[in-house]
Amino acid sequence: MSTLPEFELVQEREHSLRYLSHAADSNLIRWHYHRDYELHLIRSTRGKAFIGDYIGPFRPQTIFLCGPNLPHNWITTAQWQDGTRDQVINFSDELMPQLNHLLPEMQALQPMLDAARYGLEFGAGVSRELVPAFDRIEQASGMKRLLEFFEVMNRLAQSDYKVLSTRAYDRHPDPLLEERINTVVNYIAEHYTSDISLEDVASLVRLSPTFFSRYFRRATGHRFIDFVTRMRISKACERLELTSDPITNICFEVGFANVANFNRHFLKIKGMTPRQYRDSLALRGGVHRLPTPD
């Protein structure tokens, strides 16, 4: 069965938001993506969340926010019962920029929306706090529903969240990003299988290693060596997903010198071993028989 995500067209012509809810055995549970943002509350059951290249556990009363074109799915792997598992709000990626232009106060949401392109998981406290708000959104309509939605978004923007995927999907480059950083990132993407030293890359953009190191971290949020490692792990995830190549082969193909080092970094970044990551992929696409309720 293909692990490629299905495209989902979210059509909502008459309203700014689309709200829906479904149970743990819904045919909507599949590996998919769409052009809209998705605010997603898990009401019940436990299982695995698959967001971009992230795989991790989910539990009841947890809120996630996925940006445009980011593949996602939540698969229940524990005991479940009838009733609502998911409450979902979709909103257009064109809506927020338009509101930012008209209402300067809306710009407070932008950092969270930018980060959502990698997928966000919100803390247990704020997620539990906002469960009644999702119910109010379900019951409301018109302007009342819209106001309830922005109350939720404002609260989430003020809270802590965890960034999930190591890469965004179809993400447009920031026009303000320095040309030198683009040069370096492209160079890393083309040469990640080889030895890449900070000194060599700094020389490529004609900066001293010390200045380049500080500059790169400020621009990307990562130390140079950590960025290279994350690039290699991300490429390894792609290989684990799209091929049946032995894990040892993948280790060397993405630029690691030994398997122990590869496993250590993979576990640190992904929270599981390469073998566990590959074994979990079948769940992501929904290839899993839900446990029968007692």
Per-residue pLDDT of the chain (294 residues; tens, 9 = 90+): 345 566 665 655 567 899 999 998 888 888 888 889 999 999 999 888 989 888 888 999 999 999 998 889 998 887 777 789 999 999 988 887 788 778 888 888 989 999 999 999 999 999 999 999 999 999 999 999 999 999 999 999 999 999 999 877 764 544 444 577 778 888 888 899 999 999 999 998 888 899 888 888 877 778 899 989 988 998 899 899 889 999 999 999 999 999 999 999 999 999 999 999 998 887 776 544 444 444
pLDDT per position as a tens digit, 228-285: 998 899 889 989 988 999 999 999 999 999 999 999 999 999 999 999 999 888 777 6
Q: What's the one-letter identity of residue 266?
A: F
Provide the token pair at 133.
Answer: 């708000």
Q: Does 107 lie in the same domain as 136?
A: yes
Do 20 and 127 lie in one domain? The reply is yes
224 shares a domain with 157: no
Q: Please check whether residues 55 and 79 belong to one and the same domain.
A: yes
Q: Which residues contact 113 (CB under 8 A, 6 or more apart)?
A: 37, 67, 96
Two tokens at 215?
């500059």
CA distances from 36 to 41, 65, 89, 124, 207 (A): 16, 11, 10, 25, 40
Mark whether 149 and 209 lie in a shared domain.
Answer: no
Domain final position from 163, 193, 212: 163
Residue 293: inside a domain? no
How many C-beta atoms lie closer than 10 Å to residue 289's C-beta?
5
Q: Is residue 29 part of a domain?
A: yes
Strand partners, 86: 22, 42
Contact 67, 116 (CB under 8 A): yes
Residues 68 and 210 in one domain: no
> Which among 111, 135, 163 is the end of a domain?
163
What is the CA 119 to chain-centroid distance, rounded?
3
Is residue 120 in a domain? yes
Q: For the purposes of burial, counting CB atoms within 10 Å of the CB of 212, is it exposed (0-12), middle (13-18) or buried (19 or more)?
A: buried
My answer on whether 135 and 40 are in the same domain is: yes
| CA-based nearest residue to 232, from 268, 180, 275, 280 | 268
- Rounded to whole angstroms, the Cα distance separating 47 from 75 reads 6
**Domain, as residue range, for 221:** 179-284
Residue in the structure block whose two tokens are 């792990």: 233
| CATH for 222 | 1.10.10.60
The total number of structural domains that make up the chain:
2
Q: What is the CATH number of the domain that holds 156?
A: 2.60.120.280
Burial class (CB in 10 A: 0-12, 13-18, 19+), 81: exposed
